[in-house]
Amino acid sequence: MNQSRQLMLLSEMEPGQFADSFVLLVSRERATTRDGKPYFRVQFRDHALTATAMVWSDTPWFDDCESNWAEGEFYKVRARYDESKYGPQLDIDRIRPINEDDAADGFDPGLYFSRSRFSSEEMFAELTAIAREQITELPLQKLVLDILEQYQDQIKTIAAASKNHHAFTGGYLEHVLSMTKTACFLADKYQAYYQQMQPPLNKSLVVAGAILHDIGKLTELEYRPHGSRYTAAGRLIGHILLGRDLVREHATQIEGLNPETLLRLEHMIVSHQNLPEWGSPIAPHTPEALLVHYADDIDAKFHMMATTLENILPGNEDEFSGRDNALRRSIFLGLKTPESTD
Q: What is the pLDDT of residues 225-238, one digit of tens each?
A: 666 777 888 789 88
Q: What are the phi and psi torsion angles at 40 (to 5°)?
A: -120, 140
Residue 293 has pLDDT above 90, yes or no: yes
C-alpha to C-alpha distance for 82 and 250, rounded to whole angstroms: 52
Question: pTM value?
Answer: 0.71
Mean pLDDT of 184-197: 96
Please say whether the beta carbons of 71 and 226 come within 8 A: yes
User: pLDDT band at 1, cuts 50/70/90?
Assistant: very low
* More confidently predicted of 159 and 245: 245
Which residue in 131, 190, 176 sits closest to 269, CA to CA? 176
Mean pLDDT of 136-155: 95
- Output the CA torsion sign for 149, 151, 156, 161: negative
Q: What is the pLDDT of residue 164?
A: 64
Residue 219 has pLDDT above 70, yes or no: yes
Residue 341 has pLDDT above 50, yes or no: no
Q: What are the phi and psi torsion angles at 274 (to 5°)?
A: 75, -45
What DSSP element (H or E) covers 246? helix 239-251
Q: Give the total residue count for the chain.
A: 342
User: pLDDT band at 91, cuts 50/70/90?
Assistant: very high
> Residue 147: how many CB atoms within 10 A of its CB?
22
Please say whether the beta carbons of 174 and 166 come within 8 A: yes
Helices (H) and strands (E) in the chain, counts: 11, 7
Residue 70 has pLDDT above 50, yes or no: yes
Least confident window among 4-8, 234-238, 284-288, 293-297: 4-8
Q: What is the pLDDT of residue 2?
A: 43
Residue 96 has pLDDT above 60, yes or no: yes
Reply yes or no: is the peptide bond before residue 276 cis, omega within 30 of 0.
no
The per-residue b/e assignment along 319-331, b for 16 or more CB within 10 angstroms, e otherwise, is eebeeebbeeebe
Q: What is the pLDDT of residue 302?
A: 92
Q: What are the phi and psi torsion angles at 19 (to 5°)?
A: -160, 170
The rounded radius of gyration (Å) of the Cα atoms in the chain is 24
End-to-end CA distance of the chain: 52
Q: Tell me how far CA of residue 154 lies from CA of 10, 162, 170, 221, 307, in angstroms.
A: 31, 15, 9, 11, 24
Maximum distance among all Cα pairs of the chain, rounded to whole angstroms:
80
Sequence-separated contacts (24+) of 67-73 with Cβ below 8 Å: 69/25, 69/28, 69/42, 70/25, 70/28, 71/25, 71/26, 71/27, 71/28, 71/226, 71/227, 72/24, 72/25, 72/26, 72/224, 72/225, 72/226, 72/227, 73/24, 73/25, 73/97, 73/98
C-alpha to C-alpha distance for 319 and 332, rounded to whole angstroms: 6
42 forms beta bridges with 28, 53
- 88 alpha carbon, distance to own chain's centre: 20
Please say whether the beta carbons of 79 and 96 come within 8 A: no
* More confidently predicted of 153 and 318: 153
Residue 339 has pLDDT above 60, yes or no: no
DSSP states of 251-263? HTT-TT--HHHHH
* More confidently predicted of 75 and 159: 75
C-alpha to C-alpha distance for 241 and 60, rounded to whole angstroms: 46
Q: What is the pLDDT of residue 333?
A: 86
Residue type, 28: R
C-alpha to C-alpha distance for 21 and 26, rounded to whole angstroms: 15
The share of the chain scoring above pLDDT 70, in percent, equals: 91
Q: Are strands 50-56 and 74-84 parallel, antiparallel or unpaired?
A: unpaired
Residue 218 has pLDDT above 50, yes or no: yes
Mean pLDDT of 228-250: 87
Q: Are strands 229-230 and 221-222 parallel, antiparallel or unpaired?
A: antiparallel
Least confident window among 89-103, 152-166, 180-194, 210-224: 152-166
Q: What is the pLDDT of residue 165?
A: 62
